[in-house]
């Protein structure tokens, strides 16, 4: 086969591959809705942890989170000594966990987080608690972006992985 | 009878090809394992991996695993790469462990021809990943026009990692562990989604580099930027300046970082930026965000990084280079950083070890104003790589805080 034919074949293959990929694009549409993701409980020794992550946050990213007291309900028979810790530079000006009810405020002092983990809830685990032993009430959770605008979001706990 | 002959012929051909390939090529590779210990809770993580290289035609295959204790298989990664003359292809595949699922696949085909580098990126994100399913492709062309280097990226639903865009990370939601890839499929319905053109010129203004970038998305202008690096004046050889001008639809920004070049082995870099007036139309003053002093003495490198504006700039973690960056940039690029530490003192040492191996030692010491220890000391991060023989090397990682050991990591790499 001559060199010209080889190059022609390579060009045709490349164009066909691109066309096929572009043509199939309508089959793949990822979600762009601002999302608060709850990670599954991980337990090491007797200390449990839940990671809270944000994704698709608009206008400079997630800058503050407020969960009113009772916005998180947990099973006190399995979960005790709960606290929340900020990640990615988020600070925790207020938090309260008592009697199976919890709430907290998280604020980033200087910027917003477009996507990634922003907090972790840690607790003493008895037995084998899972995320099902926590109830997060979406109506009691408020998010704001870096421009101080409230963010309408979805609460998601079904995905073990996310892309950022 | 015909079927039997066909089967025998196929078997014979497979055996002949296999033996030929086995005789012609050599099999080599690398395997490693890493153990992470958290002294407060014990054994927490196990990294396992194997890279297999087959020299015939430059083909290399690899796979790696990540397990967390107790019994959580986070993922299984596969890689393949092959080169033949100017043509190359790299592929990556990531599968979820528990639950088992397709997570991500990426293929990069590249071709160098007459001074032009052509690359086709194709990527697909699985439905098991939040943000997916998505897929797409991008074409990257790079070449030189006179003294200028030109890079053109045409996007069909995929953004490629470069200086302005950080690629894609697949994150395990429960643990925060992440895998990074170059091609980010955005999964929009439209075919053509964006065009980026970057023109850079080296030797600009006494050895500096100027880079101009314009980025258009499918429906709108995204940004234009001009980045100047290592600019110096003929009579001021001790001074070099980095600057970046960024224009977006509704904003513009300027970042200026002067550097004092103190001979060949030392450099002092100032991180500063203009403070706008209340009206936002002028410059009121210049604010210094941080300072970095680097000094190289033989095989030893000393670094001192200090930040003055804790809310504006942050110190990235060691995997991200321990650099001083704007917090806004750190979060936008998805990097990890220390929000509390105001100073880093670092010593690194490296060289040739026994048996053709290389050894390395890095000790970072961090300081925090909230710390109650001597000199505000807050954390020590140490890494060491020690070759033990021709094919074995050990790696050690350690983090110590005022309360004791925070993190301990041991790894062993074997080449065969």
Nearest to A30 among B42, B99, B132 (CB): B132
Q: How far apart are CA A159 and CA A40, in angstroms?
A: 9
Which pLDDT belongs to residue B41?
Answer: 63
| Burial label, B30 (beta-carbon count in 10 A; 0-12, 13-18, 19+) | middle
Nearest C-alpha neighbor of B315 from the set B341, B348, B279: B341
Indicate whether A164 pLDDT > 50: yes
Kindly report, residue by residue over A94-133, the tens digit of the pLDDT. Answer: 999 988 999 999 999 888 898 889 999 999 988 888 888 9
Distance of residue B334 Cα from the nearest chain A Cα, in angstroms: 7
A141's CB contacts (< 8 A; 6+ apart) are A36, A65, A66, A67, A71, A155
How many DSSP H helices and E strands does chain B contain? 2, 30
Q: How far apart are CA A119 and CA A90, in angstroms?
A: 7
Q: Which residues from B are below 8 Å from A50, CB to CB? A: 174
Q: Which residues from A are below 8 Å from B129, CB to CB? A: 159, 161-163
Which pLDDT belongs to residue A67?
Answer: 93
> Is the CB of B188 less than 8 angstroms away from the CB of A31?
no
> Is the CB of B124 less than 8 angstroms away from the CB of A14?
no
> φ, ψ for residue B87 (rounded to 5)?
-105, 135
Which pLDDT belongs to residue B70?
Answer: 67
Distance of residue A154 Cα from the nearest chain B Cα, in angstroms: 12
Give how far Cα B64 sits from Cα of A163, B47, B79, B95, B101, Å.
20, 8, 9, 11, 16
Query: Residue A113 has what DSSP assignment?
Result: B
Give how far Cα B166 sits from Cα of B161, B163, B180, Å.
5, 7, 9
Q: Which residues from B are below 8 Å from A53, CB to CB? A: 171, 173, 176
Kindly report, residue by residue over B358-395, the tens digit of the pLDDT. Answer: 788 999 999 987 777 777 888 999 999 888 877 788 88
Find, in chain A, the residue whose alpha carbon is nearest to that of B339: A89
DSSP for B352-383, written as a single string: E-GGG-EEEEEEEEEEETT--SGGGEEEEEEE
Kindly report, residue by residue over A86-97, the tens digit of the pLDDT. Answer: 998 899 999 999
Q: Which of B174, B188, B289 to mutate to test the interface with A (most CBs of A within 10 A)?
A: B174
Distance of residue A44 Cα from the nearest chain B Cα, in angstroms: 6
Q: How far apart are CA B104 and CA B57, in angstroms?
A: 26
Q: Which of B82-86, B201-205, B374-378 shows the lowest per-residue confidence on average (mean pLDDT)?
A: B201-205
Q: Which helix (H) or strand (E) holds A54?
A: strand A47-55
By three-state DSSP, how is residue B20 classified? helix
List the strands of the sheet with B337-338, edge to edge: B324-326, B313-316, B337-338
Q: Which residues from A are below 8 Å from B45, CB to CB? A: none
Q: How far apart are CA B243 and CA B258, in angstroms?
A: 8
Q: What is the mean pLDDT of residues A28-52?
A: 80
Distance of residue B242 Cα from the nearest chain A Cα, in angstroms: 23
Q: How far apart are CA B365 and CA B375, in angstroms?
A: 11
Distance of residue A86 Cα from the nearest chain B Cα, in angstroms: 10
How many A-B residue pairs are in contact by the CB < 8 A criterion? 179
Is B361 within 8 Å of B350 (Cβ atoms)? yes
Nearest to B327 among A51, A55, A89 (CB): A89
Nearest C-alpha neighbor of A52 from the set A81, A101, A80, A90: A90
Indicate whether B106 pLDDT > 80: yes
The answer to whether the predicted template modeling score (pTM) of the entire model surpasses 0.90 is no
Q: Which residues from A are below 8 Å from B130, CB to CB? A: 31, 35, 37, 55, 156, 159, 161-163
> Is the CB of A117 less than 8 angstroms away from the CB of B171?
yes
Indicate whether B308 pLDDT > 80: yes
Q: Which of B102, B131, B159, B310 to mutate to test the interface with A (most CBs of A within 10 A)?
A: B131
Find, in chain B, the residue whose alpha carbon is nearest to that of A163: B170
Q: How far apart are CA A47 and CA A123, in angstroms?
A: 6
* pLDDT band (50, 70, 90) for residue A24: very low
| Burial label, B393 (beta-carbon count in 10 A; 0-12, 13-18, 19+) | buried
């Amino acid at each position: 086969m001559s060199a010209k034919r080889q190059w022609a074949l390579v060009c045709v293959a490349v164009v066909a591959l691109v066309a096929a990929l572009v043509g199939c694009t309508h089959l793949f549409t990822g979600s762009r809705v601002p999302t608060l993701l709850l990670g599954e409980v991980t337990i090491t020794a007797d200390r449990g942890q839940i990671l809270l992550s944000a994704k698709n946050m608009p206008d400079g990213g997630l800058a503050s989170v407020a969960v009113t007291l009772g916005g998180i309900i947990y099973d006190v028979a399995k979960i005790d000594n709960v606290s929340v810790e900020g990640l990615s530079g988020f600070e925790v000006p207020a938090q309260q966990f008592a009697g199976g009810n919890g709430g907290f405020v998280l604020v980033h002092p200087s910027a917003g987080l477009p996507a990634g983990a922003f907090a972790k809830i840690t607790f003493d685990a008895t037995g084998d608690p899972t995320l099902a032993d926590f109830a997060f009430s979406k109506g009691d959770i408020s998010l704001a972006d870096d421009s101080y605008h409230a963010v309408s979001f979805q609460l998601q706990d079904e995905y073990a992985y996310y892309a950022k | 009878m015909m079927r039997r002959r066909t089967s025998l012929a196929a078997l014979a051909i497979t055996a002949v090809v296999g033996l030929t390939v086995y005789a012609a090529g050599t099999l080599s590779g690398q395997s490693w394992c890493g153990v992470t210990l958290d002294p407060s809770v014990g054994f927490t993580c196990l990294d396992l991996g194997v890279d297999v290289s087959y020299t015939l035609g430059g083909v290399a295959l690899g796979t790696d695993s990540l397990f967390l204790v107790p019994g959580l298989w986070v993922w299984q990664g596969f890689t393949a790469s092959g080169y033949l003359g100017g043509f190359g292809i790299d592929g990556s595949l990531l599968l979820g462990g528990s639950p088992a699922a397709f997570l991500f696949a990426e293929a990069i085909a590249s071709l160098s021809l007459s001074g032009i580098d052509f690359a086709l990126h194709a990527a697909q994100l699985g439905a098991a990943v939040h943000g997916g399913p998505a897929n797409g492709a991008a074409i990257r062309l790079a070449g030189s026009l006179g003294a200028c280097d030109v890079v053109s990226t045409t996007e069909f639903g995929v953004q490629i990692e470069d200086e302005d865009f950080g690629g894609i990370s697949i994150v395990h939601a429960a643990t925060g562990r992440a895998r990074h890839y170059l091609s980010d499929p955005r999964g929009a319905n439209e075919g053509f989604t964006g065009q980026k053109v970057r023109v850079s010129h080296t030797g600009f203004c006494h050895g500096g580099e100027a880079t101009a970038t314009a980025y258009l998305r499918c429906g709108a202008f995204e940004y234009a930027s001009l980045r100047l690096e290592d600019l110096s004046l003929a009579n001021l050889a001790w001074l070099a300046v980095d600057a970046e001008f960024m224009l977006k639809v509704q904003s513009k920004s300027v970042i200026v970082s002067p550097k004092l070049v103190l001979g060949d082995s030392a450099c002092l870099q100032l991180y500063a930026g203009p403070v706008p007036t209340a009206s936002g139309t002028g410059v009121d003053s210049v604010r210094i965000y941080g300072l970095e002093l680097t000094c190289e003495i033989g095989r030893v490198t000393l670094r001192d990084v200090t930040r003055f504006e804790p809310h504006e700039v942050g110190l990235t973690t060691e995997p991200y280079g321990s650099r001083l960056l704007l917090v806004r940039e750190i979060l936008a690029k998805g990097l990890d950083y220390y929000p509390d530490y105001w100073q880093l003192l670092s010593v690194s040492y490296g060289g040739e070890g026994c048996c053709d191996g290389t050894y390395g030692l890095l000790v970072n010491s961090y300081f925090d104003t909230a710390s109650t220890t001597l000199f505000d000391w807050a954390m020590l991060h140490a890494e060491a790589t020690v070759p033990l023989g021709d094919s074995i090397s050990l790696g050690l990682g350690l983090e110590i805080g005022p309360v004791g050991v925070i993190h301990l990591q041991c790894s062993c790499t074997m080449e065969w």
